[in-house]
Amino acid sequence: MTIRFALFLGLVAALLTGAWAQSDAVSVRKQGDPILVKAARLQAYNHLLPLFLTKDQLKELLPLIEEARKEDRELALKEIQTMRQMEREIDEALKKAEEGSVPTQELMADFQKRINAISLTRQLLYGKHETLILQFVNAKLTAAQRRAAANSLTVTIRGEAERPSEEELLKVWIGIALLEPAAYEALIAIYKRA
């Protein structure tokens, strides 16, 4: 979810700020996408394999991930529709701007409002699935598996002075190890091997 959403927001930022001069750099950077996908898969394995998930656990977990992926796809389609609606308005405003007319604050505020709505909707969807999966993790994973999941993270949330709680770490782990698109492929491969 996050890689696609980051790319989506990058495109929106480029549209709204007129950063098309960087389009060559963007196309060059896209060449790195397959490498990033492989790195994300490797990261998923790094976070999943130490848990030694059982086939039964995976059998219960996979439908939760599949539902999250389905709703993410549906939301992405709605986001594209919104973007396409914005594109016509952006094209008109861009044409006027190229003729020397400064875009109105109302127009820019409207675009920002739509982008914020997209972002909020995505955050709510993510939160919903994070909560459902956290419930599964707390109910179905052993204490040792939860510790392994939390300890698979090498990041700190609040700096070096205070270690985040296990629950905070598990929420981060869910996003990195379960809701990331590459994680699904890793989970399927682990399930087939279990």
Compute the Cα dihedral for 105, 107, 108, 113 and give only its sign.
Answer: positive
pLDDT bin (cut points 50, 70, 90) of residue 5 is very low
Q: How many secondary structure helices (H) and strands (E) does the chain include?
A: 8, 0
Residue 35 · residue 82 · CB < 8 Å: no
pLDDT of residue 161: 61
pLDDT at 8 over 50: no
Residue 65 · residue 187 · CB < 8 Å: yes
pLDDT bin (cut points 50, 70, 90) of residue 9 is very low
Choice among 62-76, 160-174, 178-192 with the minimum mean pLDDT: 160-174
Residue 82 · residue 114 · CB < 8 Å: yes
**Average per-residue pLDDT in the chain?**
85
pLDDT of residue 160: 60
pLDDT, tens digit (0-9, with 9 covering 90-100), for 83-117: 898 888 889 999 999 999 999 899 899 989 989 99
Domain layout of the chain by residue ranges: 2-193
Produce one character per residue of 97-116: b if its CB has 16 or more CB atoms within 10 Å, e if not: eeeeeeeeeeeeeebeebbe
Q: Count CA atoms within 13 Å of residue 90 on its CB side.
A: 19
Predicted TM-score (pTM) of the model is 0.74
pLDDT of residue 170: 94
Alpha-carbon span 49 to 8, nearest angstrom = 30
Token pair belonging to 129: 């699935």
